[in-house]
Amino acid sequence: MTLQIHRLSFKAMGSACEVVLAAQTQQVAEQMAKLAIDEVLRIERKYSRYTSDSVIAQINRGAGHEKVHCDDETWSLFQFAAQLHDKSEGLFDITSGVLRQAWDFKKPALPSAQKLEELLPLIGWHQVAMEDHSIALPKLGMEVDFGGFGKEYAADRAAQLLTEKGVAHGYVNLAGDMRFMGPKPSGEPWLIGIQDPRQHDEVVATLPMSQGGLATSGDYERYFEMNGQRYCHVLNPRTGWPVKYWRTVSVTAPLAVLAGCTATIAMLKEVQGPEFLKSTGFDYLAIDQSGNVHIRNDSRADLN
């Protein structure tokens, strides 16, 4: 029996998601996809800042007065967050989520200087106390948030489970954060369009993907415009203000979580972003605010 491609859609992490895989029957495809979907939902329940019983919610509730013991998975993710903070020279900071209290991208309004002054002292990874599998936030009002890499981590975990079950063709797509498990059954790559950051229904390039991760960060996902200026949801943790240099950054890497964090760090580094992208060794396609395309020379992107 020949392998057929099956697409199974679901909702997770506030986004439209899908598992695409090759299987001999619809029943087998659904069984395999359920394993991946259940893993994504497990990670969402465990680390969502929106659910009161998540690990993240417990740590945030304990800010200023208690430490929370973590299991191995959570501890490893906090160690990863420490590496990202170091790699980004302090720009990728999982304590910066408190800035949501200043910015609401559903309506055009700038925060007051006083509001930012109140929040900025609550930001700073160096303040987080990590010891013996326990996490403590020393100041009342501090928060941590895995939103900067949670979807990518979930995509990697779901794809890993499918690979272990023998799935050799397909990918997991969590709202554009993607992890590939192998090419189409024919051996051809999957052709993935990169959204034009200024034309919602257009693509600026098509990337052929067979293995590894692909992720995009941009100024068009959540934003508002005011007096001719675009304010996007990617916020500099030092200033509290949105970054401005890039329209979009797409990165391919061995893991979705590496691709996503690299794209985000490039966004945060702004004018230093091009040099940072070159230093990673990963393929990338990025567009700055002037519309200039930055692309790694050996990237296989088909520009539209």
pLDDT tens profile 142-173: 999 999 999 999 999 999 999 999 999 999 99
CA distance 234 to 150: 15
What pLDDT was estimated at residue 300? 63
What is the share, in percent, of the chain residues with pLDDT greater than 70?
98
Amino acid at 34: K
pLDDT of residue 2: 87
**What percent of the chain lies above the pLDDT cut of 90?**
95
Catalogue the E-assigned strands of 255-300.
283-288, 293-295
**Torsions phi, psi for 279 (to 5 deg):** -70, -20
Confidence (pLDDT) at 119: 98
∠ CA 198-201-204, nearest 5°, is 60
pLDDT digits (tens, 9 = 90+) for 271-295: 999 999 999 999 999 999 999 999 9
The sheet carrying 190-195 orders its strands as 190-195, 203-209, 302-303
Residue 304 has pLDDT above 80, yes or no: no
H-assigned helices in 68-164: 72-87, 113-119, 150-164
pLDDT digits (tens, 9 = 90+) for 217-231: 999 989 999 999 999
How far apart are alpha carbons 131 and 133 in whole angstroms? 6
Give the span between the Cα atoms of 66 and 40, in whole angstroms. 29
SS3 label, residue 204: strand
The enclosing H or E element of 4 equals strand 4-12
Over the stretch 28-75, which tens digit does the pLDDT of each residue have? 999 999 999 999 999 999 999 999 999 999 999 999 999 999 999 999
Tell me the mean pLDDT in the region 18-30: 97
- In three-state secondary structure terms, 146 is coil
* pLDDT tops 90 at residue 298: no
Q: Identify each DSSP E strand in 32-71 by its residue range.
A: 67-69
E strands in 118-245? 129-131, 134-136, 170-174, 177-182, 190-195, 203-209, 211-218, 223-226, 229-232
Q: How far is CA 273 from the centre of its chain?
A: 17
Instruction: Give kind and range of the element (H or E) at residue 273.
Output: helix 273-280
Rounded (10°) CA dihedral 217, 213, 28, 150 = -50
pLDDT at 5: 97
- Cβ contact 244:165 at 8 Å: no
Does residue 299 carry a pLDDT above 60? no
Six-digit token string for 192: 């993935």
Mean pLDDT computed over 111-134 = 97
The encoded tokens of residue 166 equal: 């023998």
Residues 255 and 179: beta-carbon distance below 8 Å:
yes
pLDDT digits (tens, 9 = 90+) for 197-222: 999 899 999 999 999 999 999 999 89
pLDDT at 302: 72
pLDDT band of 1, cuts 50, 70, 90:
low
Element (H, E) at 58: helix 55-61
Residue 17's H or E segment, with its range, is strand 15-23
What pLDDT is recorded for position 297? 60
pTM for the model: 0.96
